[in-house]
A = this chain, B = another copy of it.
Amino acid sequence: MRAQVVTIQDVARAAGVSPATVSRVFNGGNVTPARAQSVQRAAAALGFAPNRVARSLRKQRSSVIALIIPDIENPFFTSLARGVEDAAQRTSLSVVLCNSDEDTEKERRYLEVALGEQMAGVIVAAASRDETDLGPLTARGVPVVAVDRRPRDAEVDAVRVDDHHGGEVATRHLLQAGYRRIACVTGPEGASTSEERLAGYRAALTAAKGAGASDDSYVRHADFRVEGGRAAMRELLSLPEPPDAVFVANNLMTIGVLDALREAGRTPPDVGVLSFGDVPWASLVRPSLSAVELPSYELGRTAAELLLQRMDGGAAPLQTVVLRTTLQVRESTGGPAAARGA
């Protein structure tokens, strides 16, 4: 029924050498060329494929690295994943993707798998700042890099963007365009990116209006997904005095926000819309959207490079790389109708 498995022993027997020699042939030990060739031939003839599980057990480390992301349906993270893959491509490591679905329990399970499978390294965009526990991994010396989101207290290398600054620049731009009642739809409490983008928004408002401006009636926490954005925007539109612009803390929620606006018969730049992160397939959207552009691919690539570096480097001091965002001004923040009318 099941074909018997070809082991290193079988190859050794066929080639008339010891298993140790076969192992050396495949791992670059010192072997006489003639012998090496006969081992190669025997292996090919038998269709030998090394048992990675046995190898991992012995070496105490597999040749797979895990990338754990919170939303596989968000193009930001899939682009980031491409960056990780492309960087890992040049090594002998394979990348596997795990989707935590913004669920700390699922994430915990994947972290456990990564630990139990003795993965060579882990790159994680944490589902939560407080509940994501990287302790077991770091305690066992597994290299870990936090990307995009940073878990509190984690002693790991990190790559992220300047969330606070980006949020501030975005909000300032809306102010300068003439909008006055600027709302913020941010992500879940407990995600570092949510909080920092929101903090940037607040900082810009405070700078403009003075210290008394910390009014949170225009702030909504949603779930970083389309539905959440839609619901939040509906709420904002139903306020007695609805906002005339909105800073949305991620790309998918922006889609929901635009939907809600259309429902209400409003379109940018009548209501200003500024997205933190490019809306996917933005070419489809009219009017074109202003956005804080995120280097998603580079985020992934940098994280992978940091991980690789840590994997052979050893005990260099921890580092955090902060990548710059850029504000891309387009039609959706052209200024409120009121301003044009005045």
Contact = CB atoms under 8 A, between A and B. Distances in A.
Interface of A: 1-3, 5, 47, 49-54, 56-57, 62, 64, 66, 72-73, 75, 78-79, 81-82, 85, 94-99, 101, 109-110, 112-113, 115-118, 136, 139-141, 226, 255, 258-259, 262, 279-281, 283-286
Contact of A52 (B79, B97, B117): B117
Contacts of A281: 226, 255, 279-281, 284
Contact of A85 (B1, B51, B96, B99): B99
Nearest to A252: B281
Contacts of A139: 3
Given A2-B140, A281-B226, A97 B96 contact: yes
A279 to B, nearest CB: 8
Contact of A53 (B94, B116, B286): B116
A96 to B, nearest CB: 4
B99 A99 contact: no
A141 B5 CA distance: 10
Given A255-B284, A281-B281, A284-B285, A97 B72 contact: yes
Contacts of A51: 57, 116, 118
A52 B116 contact: yes
Q: How many copies of the polypeptide does the oligomer hold? A: 2
A141 B1 contact: yes
Given A81-B99, A85-B101, 5 more contacts: A3-B139, A64-B113, A82-B99, A96-B96, A281-B284
Given A49-B115, A52-B116, A116-B51, A97 B94 contact: no
Contacts of A94: 98, 109-110, 113
Q: Residue among A52, A79, A118 with the most chain B CB within 10 A?
A: A52
B81 A72 contact: yes
7 tightest Cβ-Cβ pairs between the two chains A and B = A52-B116, A97-B97, A2-B141, A96-B96, A3-B139, A53-B57, A53-B56
B49 A116 contact: yes
Contacts of A259: 283
Residue of A2, A112, A117, A286 with most partner-chain B CB within 10 A: A117
A113 B73 contact: no
B136 A49 contact: yes
A279 B281 CA distance: 10
A78 B82 contact: no
Contacts of A47: 136
A229 B259 CA distance: 26
A95 B68 CA distance: 12
